[in-house]
Amino acid sequence: MSKSFEENYRAEMMKEIPDLWDRIEAGIEQTTAEPVPAEKQPVQKQQKSGNVRKSNKWMKILAIASPALAACLFGLVMIPAALVFMVSGIGKDSAMSASDSATQAAGGEAMYEDAEAAYESAEMTDETGGTENRYVAEGNFSYKEETMAGAPAEDAAVQSESETEVSDLFGEVVQAEIIAVTGEEVTVRLEDSLAEQLMLRYEVYPLHDTVFVFALSEENTFVPEAGMYCGIVFEEAANTENGITVRLIENTEQNE
């Protein structure tokens, strides 16, 4: 477009600018009067370190769970974890022994100690084995955690996997639902307000009915909530009343 046209057009537009200040001021007063919801607090303030979160998680487990139920669930948790370790070929021995001890345990504190040790072992193994494995392993453990809280086994599996993995990915900021974990992609569903935060911070926006959307400024941005470099993809098709689905795609090159 020729420069003169653009300049003239913009200048013409400036003549038609409405005065919106009163409206804006009223809007501000309205929002100021309303208390800020917890999820709209700045993200950094709500983040906690991974260690604190993990310790809280286990404390919660110990407080709530009953030993007998835990024994059953522990088996359910450890067997898939052991399979993952065997597939990865790293930490195979430790995973197997953890699985064995899990299935043999009858309940009580000893079992929790084993579980925790195996969890740590799995986590260490997965740090060398790749992100995908880490997600799977942590998902399995979250399954245990939630089921022990008293939910029916299958429902709890789905529900808890989502909640805990989101917690692992986003700290306690995003209490959202994980839709899927596929390879290097983690799909979570965010509430609108949280999606807006991400959009503002990482300059990402959704386009209607498109599966492929993009980050405006950078394809790959370090996302502290996820602890890794990601491309953030808003999947408009999954936008529902529950919020917007966001897919984080790990950039393995940068994370290495």
Partner 1 sequence: MEQQEFEKCIEQIRLGNKDGLRKIYEEYIGYIYSVVYGILGNKENAEDVTSDFFIRLWNSASTYQSGNAHRAWLSTIARNMSLDYIRKHRREMPLADELQDVSDSQNVEKDVVGEMSVMQALSMLNENERRIVDMKVLGEMTFQEIADLLKIPLGTVTWRYQNAIGKLRRCGYE
Binding site residues, partner 1, CB under 8 A = 1-2, 4-6, 8-10, 12-14, 16-18, 20-21, 23-25, 27-28, 31-32, 40, 42, 197, 199-201, 203, 205-210, 216-217, 236, 239
Q: Give the span between the Cα atoms of 161 and 15, in whole angstroms.
A: 55
Residue 90 has which token pair?
Answer: 């790293």
210/252 with CB nearer partner 1: 210
Shortest spacing between CB 124 and partner 1, in angstroms: 34
Shortest spacing between CB 114 and partner 1, in angstroms: 44
Shortest spacing between CB 106 and partner 1, in angstroms: 52
Shortest spacing between CB 30 and partner 1, in angstroms: 8
Interior CA angle at 54 toward 172 and 105, to 5°?
135
Bridging pattern class, strands 243-250 and 185-190:
antiparallel
19/109 with CB nearer partner 1: 19
Shortest spacing between CB 194 and partner 1, in angstroms: 12
174 close to 189: Cβ distance less than 8 angstroms: no
Shortest spacing between CB 45 and partner 1, in angstroms: 10
49/217 with CB nearer partner 1: 217
122 close to 137: Cβ distance less than 8 angstroms: yes
Q: Which of 232, 221, 218 is nearest to 255 (CA)?
A: 221
Q: 87-91: long-range contacts at Cβ-Cβ below 8 A with a sequence spacing of 24 or more? A: 88/125, 88/126, 88/129, 88/130, 88/133, 90/125, 90/128, 90/129, 91/121, 91/122, 91/124, 91/125, 91/126, 91/129
64/216 with CB nearer partner 1: 216
4/49 with CB nearer partner 1: 4
The DSSP bridge partners found for residue 222 are: 229
* Rg value, the chain, Cα: 23
25/127 with CB nearer partner 1: 25
153/200 with CB nearer partner 1: 200
Q: Give the span between the Cα atoms of 51 and 115, in whole angstroms.
A: 16
Let me know if 216 is exposed, middle or buried by CB neighbors in 10 A (0-12, 13-18, 19+): exposed
Q: 150-154: long-range contacts at Cβ-Cβ below 8 A with a sequence spacing of 24 or more? A: 150/64, 153/73, 153/76
Shortest spacing between CB 100 and partner 1, in angstroms: 49
